């Protein structure tokens, strides 16, 4: 299984900003942890972080035929990026939206995602574990496709 993990604006500042919201794990530690967890699961994982919407869209456009799924934390783009939404919808690659904090327990403007309706699912509020849960979801999806149809 090959997964692309896209991390949006300000996620490069993990461990430095709003530790009460995002935790103590630094961006570098998160990358190492996710690579380790992916390897243990037999997943090829590419992690890409950008503070630029167009760079994230370009990576999404590259996904068909290259990646089995996308794990996406769009950061603040969650709430207003129709361009990211349209890119996900256009490529038709299963995508799970992940948020480290529980966006539904935060400010009102953070409680709406324009991205979620075009995603396979959303995981919110489990800190760095959300990315691991997304990997597990993709593995379960793949395994369920391998099961014979019941009669």
- CA-nearest of 95, 99, 84, 89 to 121 is 95
Token pair 């699961």 in the structure block, residue: 41
Q: E strands, the chain, where?
A: 2-7, 44-49, 69-73, 95-99, 121-124
- Establish whether 1 is an annotated binding residue: no
- Establish whether 110 is an annotated binding residue: yes
- Establish whether 86 is an annotated binding residue: yes
- Establish whether 135 is an annotated binding residue: no
List active site positions. Answer: 22, 99
User: Please, what is the Cα angle at 116 between 59 and 43, to 5 degrees?
Assistant: 50
Q: Largest Cα–Cα distance in the chain?
A: 54
Binding residues for substrate: 73, 79, 86, 100-101, 110
Question: Which residues fall in the annotated binding site?
Answer: 73, 79, 86, 100-101, 110
């Amino acid at each position: 299984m090959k997964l692309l993990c896209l991390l949006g604006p300000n996620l490069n500042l993990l461990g430095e900003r709003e530790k009460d919201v995002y935790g103590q794990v630094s961006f570098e530690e998160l990358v190492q942890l996710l690579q380790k967890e992916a390897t243990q699961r037999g997943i090829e994982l590419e992690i890409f972080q950008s503070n630029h919407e167009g760079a994230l869209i370009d990576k999404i456009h590259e996904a068909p035929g290259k990646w089995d799924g996308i794990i996406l934390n769009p950061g603040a783009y969650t709430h207003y990026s129709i361009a990211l939404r349209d890119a996900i919808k256009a490529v038709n690659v299963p995508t799970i939206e992940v948020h480290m904090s529980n966006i539904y327990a935060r400010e009102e403007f953070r409680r709406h995602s324009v991205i979620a309706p075009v995603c396979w699912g959303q995981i919110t509020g489990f800190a760095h574990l959300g990315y691991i849960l997304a990997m597990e979801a993709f593995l379960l999806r793949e395994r369920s496709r391998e099961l014979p149809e019941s009669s």
